[in-house]
Amino acid sequence: MDWNVLFFLHMIGTLALGFYLVLPFILGRAEKLSSGAKEGTLSAVTGFNRFAQYGLVIQLLTGGYMMTKGDYSVAWMIIVVVLLLAMFALGGIMSKPLRLAAAGIRENRDVSAETGKLRTLSALLTVSLLLMVFFMVFNDIV
């Protein structure tokens, strides 16, 4: 496959991950919404999280192939793979609190524990993504 096509697909995957950069702000503002709006926001976040997970799969496949063809240090490759796996894990872990919070809102019960977990996980996802971008741009540091 042509290098430019792979790089284009890799950038499409990166765009899908952009959701994780704004997620902490979305969840922070959701606290002030009505119950119905909060449930709708959590439903949208669930869908966008699934979309971003597909973006991570694209990143894994295209980035993994490009990594084998490039000249990168072993330390850089380990850091990038660990960050990618962390993003997979955090995005997957986030699905349960999202589901529980949406169900709790429908049942009119307190969902502050779930929303707290969601804020923490979204912040960790944002930091992981920013670190990933840093190491992609400055791949000669390590």
Determine phi and psi for 13, rounding to 5 degrees: -60, -40
Query: Which domain covers residue 7, as residue numbers?
Result: 3-137
Residue 133 lies in a domain: yes
Query: What is the per-residue pLDDT for 70?
Result: 86
Return the residue matching tokens 């920013």: 130
Query: What is the per-residue pLDDT for 128?
Result: 97
How many Å apart are CA 10 and CA 6, to the nearest integer? 6
Query: What is the per-residue pLDDT for 16?
Result: 94
Residue 142 lies in a domain: no
Query: What is the per-residue pLDDT for 3?
Result: 79
Query: What is the per-residue pLDDT for 1?
Result: 65
Q: How many domains does the chain have?
A: 1
Return the residue matching tokens 């969840």: 27
**What's the pTM?**
0.90
Q: List the chain residues with pLDDT less than 50.
A: none
How many Å apart are CA 41 and CA 49, to the nearest integer? 12
